[in-house]
Chain A
């Protein structure tokens, strides 16, 4: 798989990361290096091997269905660039 400058632009846009026009081909090159490494990994035969999801045997930690959090509107909004009447205020998003 080869990533060109156009694909790099699309990926950057999807990730909402601004990349200048003249940096796109270099970025595409870096992607290709990473993907080349992954292609190398894909040559390993993993037929019948369960994906390892944890280094030590662990069970997904669970919580009980009880309300233990919330009621901290001020703290939740504390870092917002703009907040009004208890809401985050963001530039108008129109469908």
Chain B
């Protein structure tokens, strides 16, 4: 496998009133499985339906209804595990997590506490070229999502929509390997990227397809290394869990605010209490969810409605052969095969659609490095200006590939190529045909360029004198010739002939 080497980033250090402090962070990411139907029912997972339209009687917790597992969800969880280089457990089992809430009609969530489907894996979180954090994954388990309560439609009532109830989630649990707010955000984005490559979670954070609970504690410099050597959590501080965040910006802000809160308590001689907290972005503070504490007695037990989930190694192997090239490998290949920088490779592999587009441009043009520049600088710039995605780019990869090929063949200059790019982007059409129709082809015919140079020299005797005295002024002639030829003359040829004719 292709691999880029990397160094770990330095941990973030926060200066308290007295001391320096470091952060220790672990995340539980809830990723909605990209299945058509729910985990245990045949109701749709589609977002935006009429309230309670995507609900089967199983989801509504009707008496006598039994859950039947969706094999597609299992396959997607396995695929995610394989994508995170994790161990797949051929036997896993479902447990009931019991609590009462109006949007949980069963009175329990079906989850996998004791025997998750996926075991230990890892994610490489890139922070800068050559700098990355390896974050270990502890486990991934399958579980049901809850419904949605709406509190602002009536002063005395809460409105409950069960459309999301029973939708499959993967809870991805990391080890406390993350050492700063930026790393936490980058970790979530990397998970999202990998799952989007795999097609196992669409990662739409705004619609809650990806949510994170963040465990934060603080320690003094050196303590984390002592924990790593001994495996003893006593070297680390007491952690608090910040619940349910669906934006990387909030995750970063919440970690920062929570760490500072804990540092202030510790420097005041107090102790941090382990608890669940909520982040309030408006007030930029976290606050305790004491109301939830008592409910934390979940009384887990194996779900008697469901036999253990047993899958076969051959089935897992089949899924493994269907894995696409993943971001890390793709990035390494782009750097090695196309000679681009790691930074450019990062940009191009961020979304799998961008990478595929680029590769088609490179294939058509036969020039990977130039294709990377054109995709990143010209196309992405223009798409961003127009608020478009690569998916609805008016310029196809084949069209852009042919534009780059025209530059490569010396048929058009880089400057003309920008005009051509704009024409094809706005009006469409075949780049070669446009070049011919509009006479944009670069003039490489030395005779024609010589004639143009001679005309300019003949018309400007005073400038000729000056240029002979000061060769730097030759550039003025090159500019005049380019202007006279409508930008179509090959600049290198013009330069050479100007120098020659002026006797420089």
The residues in A between 50 and 95 inclusive whose CB is less than 8 angstroms from any CB of B are: 53-54, 58-73, 75-77, 82, 84-95
Q: Which residues of B contact A38 (CB under 8 A)?
A: none
Closest B-chain residue to A61, C-beta based? B68
User: What distance in Å separates the Cβ of A44 from its nearest Cβ neighbour in chain B?
Assistant: 19
List residues 133-174 of chain B with CB under 8 A from any CB of chain A. 149-151, 153-162
Q: How far is the CB of B20 from chain A (nearest CB, A)?
A: 36
B-side contacts of A95, CB under 8 Å: 278, 289, 291
* Residue A14 at the chain B interface, CB threshold 8 Å: yes
A68 x B42 contact (CB < 8 A): yes
**How many inter-chain contacts with C-beta < 8 Å in the A-B complex?**
130
Q: Write out the residue numbers on chain A whose beta carbons fall within 8 Å of the beta carbon of B54.
A: 70-71
How far, in angstroms, from A92 to B299 measured CA to CA in the complex? 26
With a cutoff of 8 Å between Cβ atoms, the chain B residues found around residue A75 in the complex are 57
Which residues of B sit under 8 angstroms from A63, Cβ to Cβ? 37, 42, 68-71
Contacting residues, chain A, for B69 (C-beta < 8 A)? 60-63
Q: Tell me the bound Cα distance from A95 to B280 in angstroms.
A: 13
Does B307 belong to the interface (CB within 8 Å)?
A: yes
Taking A16-B100, A63-B37, A70-B43 as contacts, is the C-beta distance between A76 and B52 under 8 angstroms? yes
The answer to the question of B50 belonging to the interface, with a C-beta cut-off of 8 Å to chain A, is yes
Interface of A is mostly: loop
Per DSSP, are chain B's interface residues mostly helix, strand or loop, or mixed?
loop
Note all chain A residues with C-beta closer than 8 A to B308. Answer: 53, 60
B51 engages A66 (CB within 8 Å):
no
- Residue in contact with A86 in the complex, picked from B50, B156, B158, CB distance below 8 Å: B50
Q: Is the CB of A69 within 8 A of B56?
A: yes
Nearest chain-B residue to A54 (Cβ)? B307
Tell me, in angstroms, the Cα distance from A88 to B43 when the chains sit together: 18
- Known contacts A58-B307, A72-B55, A93-B102; decide if A65 and B162 are in contact (CB<8 Å): no
* Proximity string of chain B (249-268) to chain A, C-beta cutoff 8 Å, 1 when within and 0 when not: 00000000000000000000
Contacts of B291 in A (CB 8 A): 95
- B60 interface hit (Cβ, 8 Å): yes
**What is the bound-complex CA distance between A50 and B269, given in angstroms?**
51
Closest to A88 in B: B160
- The answer for the CA separation of A63 and B36 in the assembled complex, in Å, is 12
Contact partner, A14, options B35, B98, B153, B307, Cβ 8 Å = B98
Q: Mark B68-88, 1 if CB is under 8 A from A, else 0.
A: 111111100000000000000
Residues on A facing B (Cβ under 8 Å): 10, 14, 16, 53-54, 58-73, 75-77, 82, 84-95
Query: A-B pairs with the 5 shortest C-beta distances?
Result: A65-B72, A68-B42, A69-B42, A87-B159, A69-B56
